[in-house]
Structure 1
Amino acid sequence: MKRFIPWLPAALAAVLAAVPAAAAAPAVVPASTTVLTTSGRTALTYTGYMNGESFQQDGIVTVNGWQYSAFWDQAGYVNLSRRRLPSGAWSNLRLTDYVTTSTDSHNTISIGIAPSDGTIHLAFDTHSSQFRYRRSIAGLASAPASAVWSMSSFGTVQTKLTGTSMDVVTYPQFFAHPDGTLQLAIRTGYSGTGDEVLYEYRSGAWSYLGEFLDGTTAGNNAYLFGIEYDDVDPAAPLLHVTWTVRETSNASTNHDIFYAYSKDKGRTWRNNAGTVVATTGSTPLASNAAGLRVWGIGQNRGLINQESQVVDAAGIVHVLASHLPASAADNTDFTAARESAVLVHYWRDKASKVWHQTYTPFLERSARGDIAVDARDNLYVVSGDSSTRKLHIQTASKASGWTDWVIRYTSTAIYYSDPLIDHQRLRTLGTLSFFAPRHGGSQIDVQDWTVSGG
């Protein structure tokens, strides 16, 4: 839009009239809030609930015009809910053949949906313990209107995907290749000494690809911000993974941001410069390799693990992290450091391969946020503040180089734990939709927002 201001000198007014109006961060307008459940599991551990943790990939997801979300109820059962978009009612499925005794907030439920056959996969209730998993019949997600939505559509709970033992695993993360292949990354081992391994689902069966990220050799472990494909070239998508490293079980030893990508579904891995440096199953990535470090963040900086990652339509990798501002002194007390931690946006320019950093003024204390992208590559962050119990929506425009971060919404003081964004719905349907547990844990809301601008 051109601008003309009558009282300016004619020459200056002519210059301004030729300059486009400054880009503004996207706006959000409330569309609806629905209640997913009023009987969520209420136990609070590690400053969060078993429903709503940043490392749930995914906890809420849209496929074929239907939205799915999973939660634990107070009795300890896995629940899977779905609704037809844009305004269908939630239909809940309670899986009562397995009950958890855990109150550990690490033991979340992650949803994976295989585009190749429409199966729904659930991984749940595992923290440095035996794997637990089940999957649906084929077609449950690809033909939801006609498929039977009942417990009979799901197989029994399994503790392995293949013949490979899965006795000490944590953080299952599903992601799909554009050709329909579903994959799973999961940590083996423990906090401070663990590896990441990769599985692949094709033709109705899982196969084990092997270890792709080695931490135990160096006596540490990687915590993934995220792992996902870009869609710049559907014929040759790249798989991007970012992580931070923890040296011991103490979160104060979290440090640095690392990055690698793959051109062949995670078989081989390249560093930031594009050089092949690792092969899954034989010579995996070294979790703390200097050649994989893309941003230096020291220990004792209040850096929390596993915040969020997203890749936009241009193949630019965005990482949401939070840690102490540059001007703050080191703090060996992680809980105290988190009280001053701010959200920081890191991103990689695909053409130049240069990483950038933007500090924001937003606090979140012990909580973690989620970052997502719309069809125009504008960014959205939904984050909580564990001190005020308020939820925030922050946005930034691509046109500004994602420097115009602004808070677009602040809730009343009723929310807690980590909100989870439905990434697919925002990117493909233009609705910011997110899972948000209320303080106390029993009620979980799903908020929907219309987005515009940017």
Structure 2
Amino acid sequence: MKPHFYKILLIIALSLFSCATKHNVEIPVGYGWSSNSVNTVKFRKNALTTFKNFQFLAYYDNDGYVILGKRKLKSTNWELVKTPFTGNIKDAHNTISIAVDGEGFLHLSWDHHDTKLRYAKSKLPLSLDLGKEESMTGNAEQKVTYPEFHNLPNGNLLFFYRSGASGRGNMIINSYSVKDKKWSQLQSNLLNGEDQRSAYWQAKVDKKGTVHLSWTWRESWDVSTNHDICYARSEDGGLTWKKSNGEKYSLPITVATAEIAWKIPEKSSLINQTSMTADENGNPYIANYWNENNIPQFQIVYLENGVWKKTNTAFRKTSFSLGGGGTKKIPISRPDLVIQEKGKIRSLYLLFRDSERENKVSMVYTNLSNNTAWKVIDLTTASIGEWEPNYDISLWEKQKKLHIFLQNVNQVDGEGLAKSEPTMVRVLEMNNLPQ
């Protein structure tokens, strides 16, 4: 081909990229394991996070090694490191969660399903070179599941996990001090299942540092026994807890003492471990799905002027029923939620995946202030398999830029494995949110 032909192709490519940057851009990272959904399950906190001008992510490769990535924001070039650490990728519970503390140290926890705590920290700030695997506090670290990091405004970290098994587990909260560079245990049993049930939670730290916690109770290993959405908040970094009306909880919180934000009976196809956020005034918003006229619908429970309210997206048409154990193959993903406020206007954006929409990455949104109808759009043109949404929470909070962790993955029901080749891990950058 002649040189001018390549020049024309380059001009066309740059033109297409320029058009894309006005809307959504997908940044390729590297190839990851895709035979189940372990890289994309909803309860990763975090899959993707930003500190100052650097964005970090983590995923498993096809051999089960933990891959760490770092890039400068606005760059498409990722620095990738294959760590010496591996996980049981055949179990989609065994996720990787990361966070960066206020001094820039990367924290990593991975490979848990009722198993020993696995945790490591970078040797230097902004480094992908991890130190040795170590303990946090030495307390209740033998049967760990669902590790989650949460950043506090003062630079410290919180670490949540379940100690014990499904249907009879307790919630642990550890706290990391950047000053002392040490972990301590704040709560050994915040949500007490009383050996009869366990809590499946989601959490949000708002801009003032208030920790919002919501959860569903599950009476057994069977997901159909999920019921109710409950709520608590802490204004001192997880030490003491209150109800939404300011009443102090006696700890631990039990099914008898928990504030019910929205009552939902068992066998309602209520899903667990979804998402929550908070507005500028510290009001919580809890995203979930459960049956409405026998069709699971994405719904948001939120606090307004001290009263719990609910809004139903109500766009789904097909029914299904949640039941059984293990990681499920479900027609829809668990949702993720962001709120954007401009003056008195509150816009809610819910990320999801739905077989009704050919399993694309989709978004449903509304202007809650004007009570406008929910509108649905697709953010990708191709199927993303059994992906669930994770977005860069720290970047959204600081810069209101929405970056989403993407990978096309499979999930066979009940912890089964598909036979699929590795697929590209990507970051979807949304440059303009719909209004």
2:59: which partner in 1?
71
1:255: which partner in 2?
227
| Matched residue SS, 1:98 | strand
2:276: which partner in 1?
309
| Matched residue SS, 2:313 | strand
The alignment's TM-score, normalised by the length of structure 2, stands at 0.83
User: Is 1:161 equivalent to 2:153 in the alignment?
Assistant: no
Q: 1:300 aligns with which of 261, 264, 267?
A: 267
Residue 418 of structure 1: CA displacement?
0.5
Q: 2:306 aligns with which of 319, 342, 353?
A: 353
2:116: which partner in 1?
130
| Matched residue SS, 1:67 | strand
Structure 2 CA distance for partners of 1:174 and 1:189, relative to 1, 3 Å: same
Distance 1:86 1:371 in 2: 24
Contact 1:123 1:133 in 2 (8 A): yes
Structure 2 CA distance for partners of 1:90 and 1:215, relative to 1, 3 Å: same
Matches within 5 A, 1:84-163: 84-95=72-83, 97-115=84-102, 117-140=103-126, 149-150=127-128, 153-158=129-134, 160-163=135-138
Residue 453 of structure 1: CA displacement?
6.3
Matched letter for residue 437 of structure 1: Q
Contact 1:434 1:447 in 2 (8 A): yes
| Matched residue SS, 1:341 | strand
User: Is 1:409 equivalent to 2:386 in the alignment?
Assistant: no
Q: 1:284 aligns with which of 252, 269, 278?
A: 252
Q: Identity over aligned residues, as a percent?
A: 28
Matches within 5 A, 1:184-223: 184-202=159-177, 203-217=180-194, 219-223=196-200
Structure 2 CA distance for partners of 1:362 and 1:446, relative to 1, 3 Å: farther
Distance 1:111 1:393 in 2: 25
User: Is 1:371 equivalent to 2:337 in the alignment?
Assistant: yes
Moved more, 73-82 or 360-369: 360-369
Moved more, 263-272 or 431-440: 431-440
Distance 2:65 2:262 in 1: 41
Residue 164 of structure 1: CA displacement?
1.4
User: Is 1:182 equivalent to 2:157 in the alignment?
Assistant: yes
User: Is 1:342 equivalent to 2:297 in the alignment?
Assistant: yes
2:17: which partner in 1?
none
The alignment's TM-score, normalised by the length of structure 1, stands at 0.80
2:3: which partner in 1?
none
Structure 2 CA distance for partners of 1:138 and 1:182, relative to 1, 3 Å: farther
2:416: which partner in 1?
none
Matched letter for residue 444 of structure 1: V
Unaligned 5+ segments in structure 2 are 1-20, 317-329, 411-421
2:324: which partner in 1?
none
Matched letter for residue 81 of structure 2: L
Q: 1:275 aligns with which of 241, 244, 247?
A: 247
| Matched residue SS, 2:77 | coil
Residue 285 of structure 1: CA displacement?
1.4
2:398: which partner in 1?
428
Contact 1:390 1:412 in 2 (8 A): yes
Residue 398 of structure 1: CA displacement?
4.6
| Matched residue SS, 2:369 | helix
Q: 1:42 aligns with which of 34, 57, 74?
A: 34
Contact 2:227 2:265 in 1 (8 A): yes
Residue 289 of structure 1: CA displacement?
2.8
Matched letter for residue 339 of structure 2: V
| Residues 391-411 of structure 1: CA deviation (Å, up to 9, x unaligned) | 20222235325x532113253
Distance 1:263 1:249 in 2: 32
The size of the alignment, in residue pairs, is 384
Contact 1:182 1:201 in 2 (8 A): yes
Distance 1:244 1:109 in 2: 23
Structure 2 CA distance for partners of 1:386 and 1:71, relative to 1, 3 Å: farther
Contact 1:223 1:244 in 2 (8 A): yes
Matched letter for residue 155 of structure 1: G
Contact 2:313 2:364 in 1 (8 A): no
Residue 223 of structure 1: CA displacement?
0.3
2:413: which partner in 1?
none
Residue 390 of structure 1: CA displacement?
1.8
Moved more, 379-388 or 269-278: 379-388
| Matched residue SS, 2:300 | strand
Distance 1:241 1:121 in 2: 22
| Residues 265-324 of structure 1: CA deviation (Å, up to 9, x unaligned) | 11111112211113xxxx3111x2354111101110101101111112221211110111
Matched letter for residue 310 of structure 2: Q
Unaligned 5+ segments in structure 1 are 1-27, 141-148, 329-339
Distance 1:394 1:87 in 2: 29
Distance 1:228 1:343 in 2: 19
CA RMSD of aligned residues (A): 2.1
Residue 365 of structure 1: CA displacement?
2.6
Matched letter for residue 434 of structure 1: I
Structure 2 CA distance for partners of 1:262 and 1:384, relative to 1, 3 Å: same
Distance 2:394 2:85 in 1: 29
| Matched residue SS, 2:314 | strand
Structure 2 CA distance for partners of 1:359 and 1:29, relative to 1, 3 Å: farther
Matched letter for residue 333 of structure 2: A
Matched letter for residue 371 of structure 1: L
Residue 362 of structure 1: CA displacement?
4.1
Distance 1:76 1:386 in 2: 28
